[in-house]
Structure 1
Amino acid sequence: KWADPNLALYTKKELPNLFNFANNYTLMANFYADGEVTAQAHQWTTGANISDFVERTWQEYYSGRGLADNPGWTEALTFGYATGWGGIPNGVDNPFAIYENLSKLGKWSNPWISYPYKLYLFNNLLKHHISFEDFGEFVSRDRWGNIPKAMKPHIAYSFPGWNRFILDTYRAKAAIKWFKAHNMPRFSYIWLPDDHTAGLHPCYYTPQYYVANNDYATAKLIEYLSHTPYWKHMAIFITEDDAQSGADHIDAHRTFAVVVSPWVKPGYISTKHYSQISIVKTIEEILGIPPMSIFDQTTPIISDIWTDKPNFSPVKAIKPDVKMAFNKGYCNNYTLLRREAGLKGKYVNKEWLKKHMKKSQKDSSYVPSPKNLYTPTSLLKVSGFEQFKQTAIATKGYEGYKKMLSYIKSLANKEHKSIWAFISN
């Protein structure tokens, strides 16, 4: 009932650790995303609410026609923001820009109007004096584009934000380094984006490698945390910000969630109906802070997964048997430079170029030509079906994709529903 192998894009080969967590800790089988796309989802997962502004404008942004800047977070106000380099002026692909005041960034959007009424979990924690650290998630700004001074000590500035060439294994190392140098906060929010993949976009890592890297990075983080004294008092909630444009035989909004902790029932499959707000509510209850909206106020906490017989054994990370590989296609010099920089956790800016470009290349422009400013697969801000199609072709081949699509159509016909009930946005 809860699984359909006909729709599986990845296996234990790419996901040995998530399979291990699902088998040995608690899997949420009846778990759902509260939104359709990333712009909504980051508000649901951190604010238990969504603003009217985001609900009205995300469709324009995801159309990829340049009609609106991103409705949920800060980004450069320049043509081509839906490309792999983020539309950042002069091609400066800065994954740390989300931590800067807008006065330092120049012509960037200030999304303060898009925030939920009571802002985010971080603001709630700050207000109630709960120690926390944010690794990679967006934080609120004021009307002038400034991040509150009180919030800044809780941001891990060494942790890279969005950059498709900085791998999650690097992010995991950055987070572990931070934990080793600081006191353990009561709450940590860690964002690992590699399983978003880059579809079939040339020169990017293959979906299989991105997913495997994300799996390993997640496990390495948990392995480290499970060897600390705090493991005896820890619960780790692992989920996605949305349904990742996959297909599901129950509902397009159903997504992945697993809880890793000494205090969860081993090998337990929870079939109670939960969603992202359920995780937020449970975290609020654990930390003793009030709800932020009517949604987390009224949703039940996750209650059926816990045990009074804890298992304090540490976690051992499993390295996936997936070799580093790249999508086929033409690679321009700029993309290759981004890839080279990303392997070391760096990004391409003028200073980096001066150090790494050959002398014969230093006078050439490193900004992509206008014809390359929009490629629909680089950030995958496209319809869920397009992302699903590319990922399915990458993992199953074209014939495998057609077979999967045919199977989804048969499900839709059987239940008298549209195929969009099974393929997420």
Structure 2
Amino acid sequence: MGVAFSSEHAVFVSEGTSGRVALIDLSSGERRRVFDLNVAGYRNSFSGDLVWDGTQNVLYVADQANFRIAVIDVRSRKVLASATAGRLPMAMTLSPDRRRLYVANAGMFRYRPLPIPLSFPPFGFPSAEALTGTEAPAGQSVVQIPPIGDPTVPESNSVAVINVSDPSAPKLETFVRTGASSGLQNGFGSSPSGIIATASNVYVANAGGDSVTVIDVGNNHAELEIPLRIPGMEQQRGILPIGLAYDPKTGWLLAAEAGINAVGVIDTRTAHVLGHIPAGWFPTRLVVDRGTVFVANLRGNGSRPSARSDSNIPSTISSTPEPGSVSIYPLPSAEQLPGLTKLVMQSCGFEQRPRVAPPLPPIRHVVLIAKAGLSFDEVLGDLTTVANSPVMAAPQLAHFGSAGSASGRGDILSLHGVDLTPNHHAIARRWAFSDNFYSDSNIGLGYLWLAGVYPNAWRESLARSATSGGGSNPSLSPEDVGQSGTLWHHLVAHGITIANFGSGTNGPFLTNLPMLDPPYNVTSRTYPGLNSDVSDTGRAAQFIDEIQHRYLEGGLDLPGFVYLTLPNGKPADARRPLYPYAESFIADNDEALGRIVEYLSQTKWWQETVVFVTEASVQRGTDHIDATRTLLLLAGPWVKRSHVSHTNASFPGLIKTILALLRVPPHTLFDHAAADLTDCFDSTADDTPYHAFGADRRVYNPAELR
């Protein structure tokens, strides 16, 4: 998304999926004008970054959907011209003389529509089929699938240099690829997401590779790569540089480091990183003006409680879970940077106190079950104490707990005092859970985090635009993934076998967007994706059937890491007879969870297995601690009995625990620095099988499937 001030009284704001740009009056908040990019044959435009040239009254707009830059004459309100920009233009800057426009392209491919929708992604990436194309069955037909092509073409992960000396006739001069190994590593790109130009150089922030590329404006060649690393963690990525600013007085380049909530300081004369300055949550853009630094933080100071513990009414503190913020401070001196850097390192957990790690149990199989949508209090708020400790819970908010309710909405009889989640509660009471665990996303990006992928600037902006009505796609694309790869890649690289049930299979697939490989080759072709028309008990039956026939009866070992989705665990519109209430979906989800744990507990692998259960995201949940607090349940012979963990953790902490149990080193900076959940494990095992509870048949009856 883009913002550009035309004066002290008005600002241009891009609207994303509408393909429009609005000129907003800052005093009244009203629109003065609206400019539409969907003209002259262009459709489905997505307005992104903006650059304002006040000397010529020209506004440059990145159209991410059409891979172009639109040039708008503000006085006539017309689109003067368009210029090819490259794949997924993410950020732009003008040269000081305003004769060239430099565009950072974060994309890798130009995806094309398919003649017939597919029920499964057409091919994996990387693969020979992705390069050359293939055929795929679609019903009774065979569809020709066009390739996505070579990810190393010039317009991929690059900077487009556009001559705009005449804005009415912009001309593309060249592409300059950025990042280590020309922007490609481990199959994934550098994702250039921020850019700024001086009289001699163009600086490009590579979010996918944690580096800054220096381009010589005289020859348009990438002359230097400046790595951004954390001492002692040089192999991990996650700094996520996005916006850039240059201070001519000091010669310093400032980088908004979204992954570590800081601003990096680089001496452009020596190309050395001098230090880091604290910022708000997820800084994305910044400027330096006469010695003062202004930093735009996408998530501000974080989320808040969404309800009071003494009320079942959601809080009205803020309708925005994560309001943004702007940090304003004088540019520090060189002498102040070491102290500020130390503060950043400590705040991010990079300077951890040495501790003796507890011995890990002999676990060979990790099963991760990803659900969708509920807060901790909504489900386990009525669980106020367990054997080891009281629980941070609010019984009044446990709408989907042991004494929940199902509203008939005036159509059928409402129910009260209904046990909607008997299996969630039984698992929590028998084994372990956390009352201090948080989702790293409340806008549908949790599936990325659980795949070991931290959302980059493009995905964050796309998701926030989608929440206004465009929807969001939890499937991973090559543009999502940084140069460290996914959790899947990391596990396979360390010898861990994997299996996937449901992640990335949210069809129908309308374009030749690939599924990432290795997941592509280990993903069930029959397990349903994120489709609420399919019951979770149906998913459980499919999962059990595949494990039984392929692995148990087929003589194969259960993979070391098994991922499956149970996406129906939040209220939805009633659909009789299977779902007579909105809450019926939750009852369906609970019974499915119970059946899966019951089945696994009766297999030969149970003695060496642990099951983690969490919510991929929390959307509009009510919780008296924090709007993003969510569920984390553990089940297995080596899990402590009747134990609540108070360790402050989120998805990276879960990933860290999984990696530790499988004896795999850290993957990214996020899981490296996170607190783990090893306090949930015991030194002795109890492999007693689990017996699942059925749902209240008034709320959900799987017999209605027949």
Q: Structure 1 counterpart of 2:396, which letter?
A: N
Asked whether 1:152 is paired with 2:542, we answer no
Separation in structure 2 between the aligned mates of residue 323 and residue 10 of structure 1, nearest angstrom:
15
Separation in structure 1 between the aligned mates of residue 584 and residue 472 of structure 2, nearest angstrom:
28
Asked whether 1:272 is paired with 2:647, we answer yes
Structure 2 SS opposite 1:235: strand
Partner of 1:187: 561
By relative contact order (CA 8 Å, sep 6+), the higher-ranking structure is: 1
After TM superposition, the structure 1 = structure 2 runs for residues 63-102 of structure 1, keeping only pairs within 5 Å, are: 63-64=468-469, 66=470, 70=472, 72-73=474-475
Q: Structure 1 counterpart of 2:534, which letter?
A: I
Q: How much identity, in percent, do the aligned residues show?
A: 27
Q: Report the alpha carbon displacement of residue 199 of structure 1 after superposing the two structures with TM.
A: 4.4
Asked whether 1:31 is paired with 2:437, we answer yes
After TM superposition, the structure 1 = structure 2 runs for residues 113-124 of structure 1, keeping only pairs within 5 Å, are: 113-124=479-490
**Equivalent pair of 1:48/1:292 in contact (CA under 8 Å):** no
Q: Report the alpha carbon displacement of residue 318 of structure 1 after superposing the two structures with TM.
A: 0.7
Q: Report the alpha carbon displacement of residue 201 of structure 1 after superposing the two structures with TM.
A: 7.9
Structure 1 SS opposite 2:612: strand
Asked whether 1:61 is paired with 2:466, we answer yes
- Relative to 1, partners in 2 of residues 1:174 and 1:298: Cα closer, same or farther, differing over 3 Å? same
Partner of 2:542: 174
Determine which of 277, 298, 302 is the counterpart of 2:673.
298
Separation in structure 2 between the aligned mates of residue 317 and residue 323 of structure 1, nearest angstrom:
18
Structure 2 SS opposite 1:211: helix
- Relative to 1, partners in 2 of residues 1:116 and 1:6: Cα closer, same or farther, differing over 3 Å? farther
Separation in structure 2 between the aligned mates of residue 231 and residue 62 of structure 1, nearest angstrom:
40
**Equivalent pair of 1:57/1:71 in contact (CA under 8 Å):** no
CA RMSD of aligned residues (A): 2.9
Separation in structure 1 between the aligned mates of residue 465 and residue 590 of structure 2, nearest angstrom:
32
Q: Report the alpha carbon displacement of residue 30 of structure 1 after superposing the two structures with TM.
A: 0.8
**Equivalent pair of 2:443/2:464 in contact (CA under 8 Å):** no
Asked whether 1:9 is paired with 2:383, we answer no
Q: What are the Cα deviations for residues 372-400 of structure 1, in whole angstroms up to 9, with x where unaligned? A: xxxxxxxxxxxxxxxxxxxxxxxxxxxxx
Structure 2 SS opposite 1:63: helix
In structure 1, runs of 5+ residues without a counterpart are: 75-110, 327-338, 345-425
Q: What are the Cα deviations for residues 28-52 of structure 1, in whole angstroms up to 9, with x where unaligned? A: 11111111221x2111121152222
Structure 2 SS opposite 1:53: helix
Structure 1 SS opposite 2:433: strand
Partner of 1:386: none
Separation in structure 2 between the aligned mates of residue 262 and residue 277 of structure 1, nearest angstrom:
24
Determine which of 580, 588, 609 is the counterpart of 1:234.
609
**Equivalent pair of 2:645/2:677 in contact (CA under 8 Å):** no
Q: Report the alpha carbon displacement of residue 292 of structure 1 after superposing the two structures with TM.
A: 2.7
**Equivalent pair of 1:52/1:114 in contact (CA under 8 Å):** no
In structure 2, runs of 5+ residues without a counterpart are: 1-390, 403-418
Determine which of 411, 416, 427 is the counterpart of 1:21.
427
Structure 2 SS opposite 1:37: coil
Separation in structure 1 between the aligned mates of residue 641 and residue 517 of structure 2, nearest angstrom:
42
Structure 2 SS opposite 1:246: coil
Separation in structure 2 between the aligned mates of residue 259 and residue 241 of structure 1, nearest angstrom:
15
Paired positions, count: 290
Determine which of 564, 588, 591 is the counterpart of 1:213.
588
Q: Report the alpha carbon displacement of residue 189 of structure 1 after superposing the two structures with TM.
A: 0.5
Separation in structure 1 between the aligned mates of residue 482 and residue 576 of structure 2, nearest angstrom:
37
Structure 2 SS opposite 1:178: helix
Q: Structure 2 counterpart of 1:161, which letter?
A: G
Q: Structure 2 counterpart of 1:192, which letter?
A: L
Separation in structure 1 between the aligned mates of residue 595 and residue 625 of structure 2, nearest angstrom:
32
Separation in structure 2 between the aligned mates of residue 26 and residue 259 of structure 1, nearest angstrom:
5
Asked whether 1:245 is paired with 2:620, we answer yes
- Relative to 1, partners in 2 of residues 1:148 and 1:245: Cα closer, same or farther, differing over 3 Å? closer
Separation in structure 2 between the aligned mates of residue 150 and residue 252 of structure 1, nearest angstrom:
34
Q: Report the alpha carbon displacement of residue 204 of structure 1 after superposing the two structures with TM.
A: 8.1
- Considering only CA atoms, is the larger Rg found in Structure 1 or Structure 2? 2
Q: Report the alpha carbon displacement of residue 114 of structure 1 after superposing the two structures with TM.
A: 2.6
**Equivalent pair of 1:126/1:151 in contact (CA under 8 Å):** no
Structure 2 SS opposite 1:223: helix
**Equivalent pair of 2:614/2:631 in contact (CA under 8 Å):** yes
| 25-34 or 200-209, larger mean C-alpha shift | 200-209
Separation in structure 2 between the aligned mates of residue 116 and residue 6 of structure 1, nearest angstrom:
42
Separation in structure 2 between the aligned mates of residue 219 and residue 302 of structure 1, nearest angstrom:
22
**Greater share of strand:** 2
Q: Report the alpha carbon displacement of residue 311 of structure 1 after superposing the two structures with TM.
A: 0.9
**Equivalent pair of 2:540/2:596 in contact (CA under 8 Å):** yes
Structure 2 SS opposite 1:218: helix
After TM superposition, the structure 1 = structure 2 runs for residues 302-313 of structure 1, keeping only pairs within 5 Å, are: 302-313=677-688
- Relative to 1, partners in 2 of residues 1:72 and 1:225: Cα closer, same or farther, differing over 3 Å? closer
Q: What are the Cα deviations for residues 232-254 of structure 1, in whole angstroms up to 9, with x where unaligned? A: 01111011001242100011110
Q: What are the Cα deviations for residues 135-159 of structure 1, in whole angstroms up to 9, with x where unaligned? A: 00128x9x96334665433111110
Separation in structure 2 between the aligned mates of residue 227 and residue 15 of structure 1, nearest angstrom:
22
Q: Report the alpha carbon displacement of residue 288 of structure 1 after superposing the two structures with TM.
A: 2.6
Separation in structure 2 between the aligned mates of residue 7 and residue 265 of structure 1, nearest angstrom:
27
Q: Report the alpha carbon displacement of residue 55 of structure 1 after superposing the two structures with TM.
A: 1.4
Determine which of 119, 131, 135 is the counterpart of 2:497.
131
Separation in structure 2 between the aligned mates of residue 280 and residue 189 of structure 1, nearest angstrom:
12
Q: What are the Cα deviations for residues 181-215 of structure 1, in whole angstroms up to 9, with x where unaligned? A: 22211110110011133246899832321111111
Q: Structure 2 counterpart of 1:30, which letter?
A: N
Q: Give the TM-score normalised by the residue count of structure 2.
A: 0.39
Separation in structure 2 between the aligned mates of residue 203 and residue 63 of structure 1, nearest angstrom:
31
Q: Report the alpha carbon displacement of residue 21 of structure 1 after superposing the two structures with TM.
A: 0.7
Partner of 1:419: none
Q: Report the alpha carbon displacement of residue 113 of structure 1 after superposing the two structures with TM.
A: 1.6
Q: What are the Cα deviations for residues 237-283 of structure 1, in whole angstroms up to 9, with x where unaligned? A: 01100124210001111001111111111001111111121111111
Q: Report the alpha carbon displacement of residue 124 of structure 1 after superposing the two structures with TM.
A: 1.8
Separation in structure 1 between the aligned mates of residue 607 and residue 700 of structure 2, nearest angstrom:
38
Q: Give the TM-score normalised by the residue count of structure 1.
A: 0.63
Q: Structure 2 counterpart of 1:23, which letter?
A: R
Structure 1 SS opposite 2:617: coil
Partner of 2:572: 198
Separation in structure 1 between the aligned mates of residue 610 and residue 492 of structure 2, nearest angstrom:
20
After TM superposition, the structure 1 = structure 2 runs for residues 394-405 of structure 1, keeping only pairs within 5 Å, are: none
Structure 2 SS opposite 1:241: strand
